[in-house]
């Protein structure tokens, strides 16, 4: 079976690795910075696909075709959808809805895509069964996902419903500059952590990174620290909702004085302030300088951060004897940020 998996742009290869490791998936195609990968899996993998931590959605891929951006090409899209085999999943006895996404330069909108695709599904079902299927836009039994990304159209059956899997149920407290759990999981994978060794987020906010670490590394000691007591309380709430509060050590503390709280830490993974959503850029740069100096005193192995201050991080890492071993660009909300891995 062929699946279309969506993930955070910039983490496609990590999502592909996770699908291979957990599902035995074989990578067919990876669209770098488009947030999509195509994999082949066995039928039994469908029972496990929702356990992947890096993906947002999983879909059974019915068809993939080239399509132009001119309005006349909507008729081509109609044919692609109608001939995709969608009538194997949508029948006169199953309600359906089309969810469309469009990215790139086109003379049509995502609403046009949804309208044309919906008509094509109805035509295909009527041609096969002699009756049209019921449409239910709010609570459909089957969701047909039709994406036009650049010059490529994807037709698929949604497995994850209307709620993206990156919206974890444990997020009962929402930090004002929170990190997507899928990015947190990707950062943890990239850090190459050995289960059983210690993991710390010294600016943990709502606790997303330590919580994701708790799911991925069952034996590792976990530390969640933040200078804001309100954030620590929120992180406790989220960890309790995730049933991980007893595994995580919570510290109200300052990331600029790490030696005051821990003797040594094997791995640090963190999403420091950017100075865009929170704080001022000048104060954030000062924080980075003091934090990296402090981290260099207790870090045993590797530190992974996501930041827009990549030039400053390079300068400070060199000053304090930390070697940058990996960098990549990822989408983080409306920003393009950089994941950077520093080694002691």
Q: What is the pLDDT of residues 146-170, one digit of tens each?
A: 999 999 999 999 998 888 878 788 9
Evaluate if residue 62 carries a pLDDT over 80.
Answer: yes
- State both tokens at 152: 């490529």
Confidence (pTM):
0.93
pLDDT at 276: 59
Tell me the HSE value of 88 on the side-chain side, using a 13 A CA sphere.
9
CA distance 192 to 136: 45
Confidence band, pLDDT 50/70/90 cuts, at residue 45: confident
Domains by residue range for the chain, with CATH: 2-158 (3.30.2130.30), 181-343 (3.40.50.150)
pLDDT at 278: 52
What's the longest Cα–Cα distance across the chain? Answer: 74
pLDDT at 233: 97
Across the range 205-225, mean pLDDT stands at 97
Tell me the HSE value of 218 on the side-chain side, using a 13 A CA sphere.
0
Across the range 15-39, mean pLDDT stands at 93
């Amino acid at each position: 079976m062929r699946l279309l998996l969506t993930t955070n742009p910039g983490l496609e290869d990590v999502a592909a690795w996770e699908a291979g490791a957990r599902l035995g998936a074989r990578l067919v195609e990876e669209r770098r910075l488009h947030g999509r990968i195509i994999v082949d899996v066995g039928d039994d993998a469908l029972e496990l696909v929702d356990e992947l931590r890096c993906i947002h959605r999983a879909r059974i891929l019915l068809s993939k075709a080239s399509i132009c951006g001119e309005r006349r090409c909507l008729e081509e899209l109609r044919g692609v959808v109608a001939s995709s085999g969608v009538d194997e999943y949508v029948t006169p006895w199953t309600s359906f809805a089309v969810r469309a996404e469009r990215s790139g330069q086109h003379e049509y909108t995502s609403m046009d895509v949804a309208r044309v695709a919906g008509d094509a599904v109805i035509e295909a079902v009527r041609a096969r069964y002699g009756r049209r299927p019921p449409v239910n836009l709010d609570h459909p039994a089957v969701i047909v996902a039709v994406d036009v990304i650049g010059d490529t159209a994807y037709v698929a059956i949604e497995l994850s419903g209307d709620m993206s899997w990156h919206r974890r149920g444990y997020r009962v407290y929402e930090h004002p500059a929170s990190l997507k759990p899928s990015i947190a999981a990707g950062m943890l994978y990239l850090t190459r952590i050995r289960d059983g060794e210690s993991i710390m987020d010294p600016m943990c906010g709502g606790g997303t990174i330590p919580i994701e670490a708790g799911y991925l590394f069952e034996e590792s000691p976990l530390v969640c620290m933040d200078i804001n007591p309100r954030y620590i309380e929120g992180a406790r709430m989220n960890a309790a909702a995730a049933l991980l509060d007893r595994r995580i050590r919570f510290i109200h503390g300052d990331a600029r004085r790490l030696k005051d709280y821990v003797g040594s830490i094997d791995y640090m993974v963190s999403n420091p302030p950017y100075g865009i959503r929170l704080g001022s850029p000048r104060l954030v740069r000062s924080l980075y300088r003091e934090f990296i100096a402090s981290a260099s005193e207790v870090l045993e192995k590797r530190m992974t951060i996501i930041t827009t201050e990549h030039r400053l991080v390079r300068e400070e890492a060199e000053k304090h004897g930390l070697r940058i071993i990996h960098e990549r660009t990822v989408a983080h909300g409306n920003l393009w940020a950089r994941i950077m891995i520093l080694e002691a």
